Structure 1
Amino acid sequence: MMSSSSYKRYAFHGCNSRQHLDQYLSDTSGIAFEEDILKFPIENLAKTFTVGHIKGDVLIDLSKGAMVHHLFAACEFFEHIIVLKVSDQCIMELKRWLDTRTGAFSWEHATKHHAEIGGKSAQLKEKEEKVRAAAQHVVKCNLEKENTTHPIVLPPADCIISAWLLEAICKDQDDFIRYLRKFSGLLKPGGHLILIGTLGLSFITVGTDRYHGFTYDEDFVRKALVGAGFVIDDCKVKERTAVSDLTDYKALIFILAHKKK
């Protein structure tokens, strides 16, 4: 077995964004991660936003890879979605879908699931076009810089969604807490943070490469959020159902919190 010390790191080495989508989020029959990584965030985000109190002008997406399925619910409630990515390859893959280029990854299966939740299965294309219209700003970021998008200065956000990024880029608990404080600095007072992640993860495989994962549990992430100045509004944990040796996470977590005013 490969030693954990030889695992690649997402923040430094990047990963093949298309392979990541194909392995974990495609509509291939029998895909192992459909319930965990596709349906779990879509269903919880749909419930969260349809309540109606989380909305505004600007939403910032700080998520791993070139995923967009977690934005289908948000596009109804925010005028602008600013997508921040740590790698150029993720930006290229995402823009391929946003610009409807030939060979872009198909999200129709995810769109269909979201539309079915809302009872609007006939409006698939309309949902995708709303995401494309809102997500006009895709920007490379560096979370180590004081201004993460230098020289661009972002407007304060009403909401941030971060899906599966922190376990990919953090080395330890200190990193996790430091990045949460970075997220807080991008939010308006009272603004919301939605974290989607994996508990008990130590590695994830993309193609033939194995990547480091920061291991944390529910108790740690709750304490980290409070320590970074957030109030937790809701938390959902789903035990793993996927049968696959591509990754070793134990459960999924969805947390809604807001920044103290």
Structure 2
Amino acid sequence: MMASTPYKFYLLHGCDSRQHLDQYFSDTSGMIFEDDFLIFPIENLAKTFTVGHITGDVLIDLSKGSLVHHLYAACEFFKHIIVLKISDRCIMELKRWLDTRTGAFNWEHATNRHVELEGKSHQSKEKEEKVREAAQHVVKCDLEKENMTDPIVFPPADCIISFCLLEVICKNQDDYIRYLRKFSGLLKPGGHLILFGALDLSFITVGTDKLHALTYDEDFVRKALAGEGFVIDVCKVKERTAVSDLIDYKAVIFIEAHKEI
């Protein structure tokens, strides 16, 4: 019997950004992760931003892969979306979509879902253009630097969105708290942090690669946020519905919190 292949580490090895999109976010028939990774975050983000208390000039996106759908609601409330990525591969895939290049990933299914929630089902193209106009800054970052975008210095953000990044960049719970503290350092006092993650996850498969993931539960996230000076305003947990051996999470979690002044 062959020995199992060790898990790869996202920060060191990255992943195939397009394969990641195709496996977990596409509109192909039978795409089993739609409820958990597309509909659940889109619906909760739409509700969160529609309330109207999260707004401002600058939003920073720190997310895994080359995702777009989590920015649809935000683009209506922020003039500037700064997208930070840890790899050139993620940036290249994202820019294909932002620059409307041939071969870009098709997010139309997610766009349609969002504009339907807004009661503007005829405005899908306008919605995508608003995201493109807002996301003018796509920058490679180094999470280990004091200023992760050095030599570029960005102003403190009014809001940060992080979609499924912390679990794949952290080797242990101390890492999670350390990176959460770095995220907090990018925020204004009173600024908002929106986290989307997968609970009780230990690996994610992308193509032929298995990537390590930090296993944590809701209680850990709540304590970590409180310990770093955040107050949780909204916390929603959805039990897993997808049946697949590509990834082993048990639930997905959506958190909106604000940084204490």
TM-score by length of 2: 0.98
Distance in 2, matches of 1:198 and 1:44, equals 15
Change (3 A) 1:260 1:2: farther
Task: Tell me the equivalent position of 1:190.
Answer: 190
Task: Tell me the equivalent position of 1:172.
Answer: 172
The residue type paired with residue 7 of structure 2 is: Y
CA deviation vs aligned residue, 1:126-169 (integer Å, no higher than 9, x gap): 00000000000000011111000010011100000000000010
Matched, 1:80 2:80: yes
Distance in 2, matches of 1:152 and 1:98, equals 21
Distance in 1, matches of 2:161 and 2:3, equals 32
Task: Tell me the equivalent position of 1:242.
Answer: 242
Task: Tell me the equivalent position of 1:111.
Answer: 111
Matched, 1:208 2:208: yes
Task: Tell me the equivalent position of 1:100.
Answer: 100
Distance in 1, matches of 2:67 and 2:7, equals 23
Distance in 2, matches of 1:243 and 1:136, equals 37
Distance in 2, matches of 1:171 and 1:145, equals 18
Give the 3-state SS of the residue equivalent to 2:154 in structure 1: coil
Task: Tell me the equivalent position of 2:30.
Answer: 30
CA deviation vs aligned residue, 1:11-35 (integer Å, no higher than 9, x gap): 1001000000000000001101000
Give the 3-state SS of the residue equivalent to 1:121 in structure 2: coil
Structure 2: give runs of 5+ residues left out of the alignment: none
The residue type paired with residue 109 of structure 1 is: H
Task: Tell me the equivalent position of 1:225.
Answer: 225
Distance in 2, matches of 1:259 and 1:227, equals 11
The residue type paired with residue 149 of structure 1 is: T
Distance in 2, matches of 1:7 and 1:154, equals 34
Task: Tell me the equivalent position of 2:17.
Answer: 17
Deviation at 1:2, TM superposition (A): 6.5
The residue type paired with residue 107 of structure 1 is: W
Distance in 2, matches of 1:59 and 1:175, equals 23
Residues paired across the two proteins, number: 260
Q: For residues 154-173 of structure 1, what are the structure 2 equivalents within 5 Å? A: 154-173=154-173
Structure 1: 4+ residue segments shifted above 3 A: 1-4
Task: Tell me the equivalent position of 1:45.
Answer: 45
Give the 3-state SS of the residue equivalent to 2:160 in structure 1: strand
The residue type paired with residue 103 of structure 1 is: G
Change (3 A) 1:2 1:210: farther
Q: CA RMSD in A?
A: 1.0
TM-score by length of 1: 0.98
Deviation at 1:3, TM superposition (A): 4.8
Task: Tell me the equivalent position of 2:69.
Answer: 69
Give the 3-state SS of the residue equivalent to 1:249 in structure 2: coil
The residue type paired with residue 144 of structure 1 is: E
Distance in 2, matches of 1:75 and 1:2, equals 47
Give the 3-state SS of the residue equivalent to 2:29 in structure 1: coil
CA deviation vs aligned residue, 1:39-89 (integer Å, no higher than 9, x gap): 111000000000000000000000000000000000000000000001110
Task: Tell me the equivalent position of 1:120.
Answer: 120
Give the 3-state SS of the residue equivalent to 1:258 in structure 2: strand
Give the 3-state SS of the residue equivalent to 2:194 in structure 1: strand
Give the 3-state SS of the residue equivalent to 1:146 in structure 2: coil
The residue type paired with residue 56 of structure 2 is: G
Distance in 1, matches of 2:161 and 2:127, equals 19
Distance in 2, matches of 1:8 and 1:2, equals 15
